[in-house]
């Protein structure tokens, strides 16, 4: 579910892909779509990509870039099956919307990735924006639906 004071709440679909090439980071890509009442894709919503760097003592640094002109640097930690991230730095181009902070909470529950995303943007304080339960897709080919 997505929603914010400046938009209507809606259902959305999401594809998240993590990759690893042997270097000390994970690649990350996310695409979302607005869904109609039957769960059919209506139109693209958001896209983001970046890198997750795992540090000693369960710490993380995450760099995420958005095509809307926003770049976020998150810091956080892994505690058991939970990851919590908060923005440390937000950079924006002159044409991007006003965005000042993000908070992301991820958890592995019964093999599914649950997450909640809060943001502070367009004059609104930090509050819920999106949440989802993502199921793993076996043998995913990221180039199949480009």
Strands ordered across the beta sheet of 7-10: 7-10, 2-4, 127-134, 112-121, 99-109, 82-92, 70-79, 59-66, 41-54, 26-35, 12-19
Domain span at residue 100 reads 2-134
**Which has the closest alpha carbon to 136: 116, 117, 110, 104?**
110
Say if residue 97 carries a ligand binding annotation. Answer: yes
Is 139 inside a domain boundary? no
Average pLDDT (40-58) is 96
Residue 124 is encoded by which pair of tokens?
A: 């609104």
pLDDT tens by residue, 84-120: 999 999 999 999 999 999 999 999 999 999 999 999 9
Is 97 inside a domain boundary? yes
Is 145 inside a domain boundary? no
pLDDT tens by residue, 19-45: 999 999 999 999 999 999 999 999 999
Residue 95 is encoded by which pair of tokens?
A: 């044409």
Q: Answer for the pair 107, 80: CB distance below 8 angstroms, yes or no.
A: no
In three-state secondary structure terms, 11 is coil
CATH code of the domain in which 59 resides: 2.40.128.20
Say if residue 129 carries a ligand binding annotation. Answer: yes
Q: pTM of the prediction?
A: 0.89
Q: How many domains does the chain have?
A: 1
């Amino acid at each position: 579910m997505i929603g914010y004071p400046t938009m209507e709440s809606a259902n959305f679909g999401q594809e998240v892909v993590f990759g690893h090439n042997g270097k000390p980071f994970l690649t990350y890509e996310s695409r979302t779509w607005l869904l109609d009442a039957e769960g059919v894709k209506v139109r693209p919503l958001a896209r983001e990509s970046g890198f997750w760097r795992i540090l000693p003592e369960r710490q993380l640094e995450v760099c995420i870039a958005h095509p809307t002109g926003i770049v976020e640097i998150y810091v956080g930690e892994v505690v058991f099956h939970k990851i919590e991230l908060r923005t440390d730095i937000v950079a924006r181009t002159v044409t991007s919307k006003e965005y000042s902070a993000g908070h992301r909470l991820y958890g592995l529950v019964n093999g599914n990735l649950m997450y909640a995303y809060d943001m502070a943007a367009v004059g609104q304080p930090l509050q819920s924006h999106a949440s989802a339960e993502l199921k793993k897709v076996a043998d995913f080919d990221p180039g199949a639906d480009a």
